[in-house]
Amino acid sequence: MAPTKDPVTTPNGASTRTPAKKPANSAAKAPEKAKKTAGEKTPVKTKKRAPAKAPAVEFATYAKAPARTPPAEKSAPAEGRTPVKRRRKRHFPTVFSRLMVLFVVLAAMAGTMYALLRLMNGGAEAAQTAPTPKPTVQPVATEVPAPTPEPTPSDLPDVDLNSWELRLVRYEYPLGEDFAPPELVDVGDGQQMDSRVAPAAVQLIEDAKAAGNTVWVCSGYRDYDTQHIIYWNHIYEYTQEGMTEEEAHAKTRLAVNYPGSSEHQYGLSVDILEYNGQIMEPYICDEPLMVWLKEHCAEYGFVIRYPDNKTDITGVEYEPWHLRYVGTEAAAYMMEHDLCLEEFRQLYEP
């Protein structure tokens, strides 16, 4: 039986038992081991651990989505602070449903109105189709308006057409350059007239003022030269506006008589206005003075020489301010029947 060796104490204080010798190849190594056991300490062999292998990482071709963080917990509002209520977003289905309800209500109302209209129209059609009794027509006596009496030779005043009062003065019947009244008399505002008619004109002006009108004698007698200047000034103005000379003459004669054929040169006409500078246009016929002249001029032997709607006969536009003396009888007849001097003279022609 082989002898046993004493146990060897390790630096840690643990005892180890020397293993038994192997029978074959251990004879050569025995002296070395004996040396180690006699004077050297045998180190303790520790088992080395194999390093842990890192797991294989598979590289993906897409980006890794970030981790979703859980929503933060709602913190309780601070003491004494009113929590803010967040407005809830309206979703499309809610708004759409309300619109649908509104559409349905409107459609129902439209249907109701249509039904009511059909009922009303049906009743009206029934009323129209129902036979209505024909009213009994009874003859009613109506007054036939009497026609406006036309002047007859028996109604005409007894006047002499060849007298100086009824002389016709116009472009076709001129006076001439040298004509002048026998005598001129002042009638107011520096104007003159034939002495045979001046008293009647003065009386007319005084009575017009007494009736509350303001009167200004614009023009009385004008000689040939004055009329010539006025006429050709109008021609010049119209031609400067682009009219031809023929057009300028035609327009001028509607307001200004041709030199030598003016009633102002004859001395029996006068222009009366309300004030100096008043515009001489047909529309002033509604002014108080013009209305008074039309109503009372015949009482003094005067007429409106160029009345309204007579331009195609007289050749001159409506001039409510232009008075011409013809005598009291002729004036009363002409104003009553709305006649101009040309029409009055034609009544005496055979």
Catalogue the active-site residues.
Answer: 319
- Cα separation, 244 vs 233, in Å, equals 15
Record the tokens describing residue 343, joined without a space.
Answer: 């029409």
Helix residue spans in the chain (DSSP H): 26-39, 92-129, 198-210, 224-240, 245-252, 263-266, 288-296, 311-314, 328-336, 341-346
Under 8 Å between Cβ of 315 and 253: yes
Distance CA 334, CA 295 (A): 12
CA 155, CA 39: separation in Å to the nearest integer? 190
Q: Are 200 and 303 in contact (CB under 8 A)?
A: no
Please tell me whether residue 188 adopts helix, strand or coil conformation. Answer: strand
Whole-Å CA distances, 331 to 154, 162, 298: 17, 16, 5
Rounded to whole angstroms, the Cα distance separating 25 from 29 reads: 8
Closest among 303, 270, 295 to 159, alpha carbons compared: 303
Q: Which residues pair with 325 in a beta bridge?
A: 302
The encoded tokens of residue 298 equal 């015949």
Tokens of 245: 């000379």
d(CA 211, CA 203): 12
Name the phi and psi angles at 191, rounded to 5: -105, 150
3-state secondary structure of 35: helix
What kind and span of H or E run contains 271? strand 269-273
Q: Which two tokens stand for residue 158?
A: 């007894």
